[in-house]
Amino acid sequence: MPALDYSRLAAIYDDYCDFDRDLDFFRSLLVRRGGQVLELMAGTGRISVPLLEAEIELTCLDSSAAMLRVLQRKLGQRHLRAALVCADLSTMRLRARFDTVILPFQGFCELVTKEEQRKAMGAVAGVLDGCGRFVCTTHNPAIRRRTLDGNWHAMGEFPRQAGGVVRLALKGKLEPTRRIVEGHQRLEVTDKSGGKSEILMPLRFSLVSASELSALAEAAGLELVSLCGDYDGSGYDETRSPVIIATFQRSG
C-alpha cells in the first residue's frame, strides 16, 4: 500500500502532476506489442487516458478509490472504457492474464518494505501470461538521493485547471541502512479568487538499485530482458540516468 494518502490529493492531482515524458515510450511499446495490458498504480489516468485513446485494451489498478473515481469520470467524459480495479498491488488477485504489465512514473519506489516489494513481484508474475512482460520503473538511487538532504526543495508552480496555482515542495532524508526515505510533501493551493490553503503530507518511499530490482524479479521467476535509463530508450548508466526502466519476462 503506497505510504502517500492519495485520497487527499485526488481532487488536485491533475493540476500539478503534468509529467508526460514517458507517454510516447509506453504508447509506442504497447501499440507494438498489442494484447491485454494491466497498468499498476494507474491513479487518475495520466497515462491511462492516452493509452485508451490509442485503442490499447487496458485494465487500470490502483489502491485509491478516490483516484479511480476521478479516472472513471474522465473515461465517461471521453466515451472511453477500461476495467478499473481498486486493489493493493502487493496483494492483488486477478483472474485475467495479461500480455504486458506496466508500472509507470517510478511507482516501484512506493513499495517501501522488502516484503511489499517481494509480494508485488510475485503478484505481477502471477498475472502475466506465458510470454508476458513486466515494465517496471523506479528512481535511480544515485540521482534521487542528491535532493534527500532534509531541506525543502521547490518542485514547481503549476496552473490549476479551474484557475489559481499549486506550488509543490518536497523534503526528505534517506535512512541509509534500510534505503528508505522519510519526509513530507507540501502543496500550497491558491484558487482562482486568491484563497489559499496548504496540504502537508508524510512522504515515505524506497530506493532500489537495478541489481536489487533484478534480484527481486528473479526470485519471483522473472528474468531481465532490457534495462533503460530514460524514456528515450537510452541505456542505463548508474551515475547519470534519471530513472530505472527494467523489462522482465517469465524465466524459461
pLDDT at 252: 65
pLDDT tops 70 at residue 106: yes
Residue 109: phi, psi to the nearest 5?
-65, -20
Give the pLDDT band of residue 176 (cuts 50, 70, 90): confident
How many whole angstroms separate alpha carbon 209 and alpha carbon 191? 40
105-139 as b/e, with b when 16 or more CB fall inside 10 Å?
bbbbbbbbeeebbebbbebbbebbeeebbbbbbbb
pLDDT tops 60 at residue 233: yes
Helix residue ranges, H only, the chain: 13-16, 23-33, 48-53, 65-78, 114-127, 141-144, 210-219
What are the tens digits of pLDDT across the range 118-174?
A: 999 999 999 999 989 999 999 999 999 999 999 999 999 999 999 999 999 999 999
Residue 99: phi, psi to the nearest 5?
-75, -35
* 204-214 mean pLDDT: 97
Q: Which three cell numbers stand for residue 175?
A: 535512512
pLDDT at 71: 98
- The answer to whether residues 28 and 48 touch, using CB atoms and an 8 Å cutoff, is no
* Domain 6-140+207-250, second-level architecture: 3-Layer(aba) Sandwich (3.40)
pLDDT at 202: 95
Give the pLDDT band of residue 2 (cuts 50, 70, 90): low
Residue 111: phi, psi to the nearest 5?
-85, 100
What are the tens digits of pLDDT across the range 30-86?
A: 999 999 999 999 999 999 999 999 999 999 999 999 999 999 999 999 999 999 999
pLDDT at 123: 97
pLDDT tops 70 at residue 237: yes
pLDDT at 4: 77
pLDDT tops 90 at residue 5: no
Total residue count of the chain as it appears in this document: 252
Same fold, 6-140+207-250 and 143-206: no
How many whole angstroms separate alpha carbon 218 and alpha carbon 118? 10
Q: Please, is 224 exposed, middle or buried when counting C-beta atoms within 10 Å of its C-beta (0-12, 13-18, 19+)?
A: middle
pLDDT at 203: 94
pLDDT at 178: 81
- The answer to whether residues 83 and 60 touch, using CB atoms and an 8 Å cutoff, is yes
What are the tens digits of pLDDT across the range 9-22?
A: 999 999 999 899 99
Query: pLDDT: is 4 or 243 the higher one?
Result: 243
DSSP 108: G
Domain residue limits, the chain? 6-140+207-250, 143-206
- The answer to whether residues 29 and 135 touch, using CB atoms and an 8 Å cutoff, is yes
Q: What is the mean pLDDT of the chain?
A: 95
At the top level of CATH, the class of 143-206 is: mainly beta
If DSSP codes are grouped into helix, strand and coil, which group holds residue 76? helix
pLDDT at 3: 63
User: What does pTM read for this prediction?
Assistant: 0.96
How many whole angstroms separate alpha carbon 40 and alpha carbon 132? 15
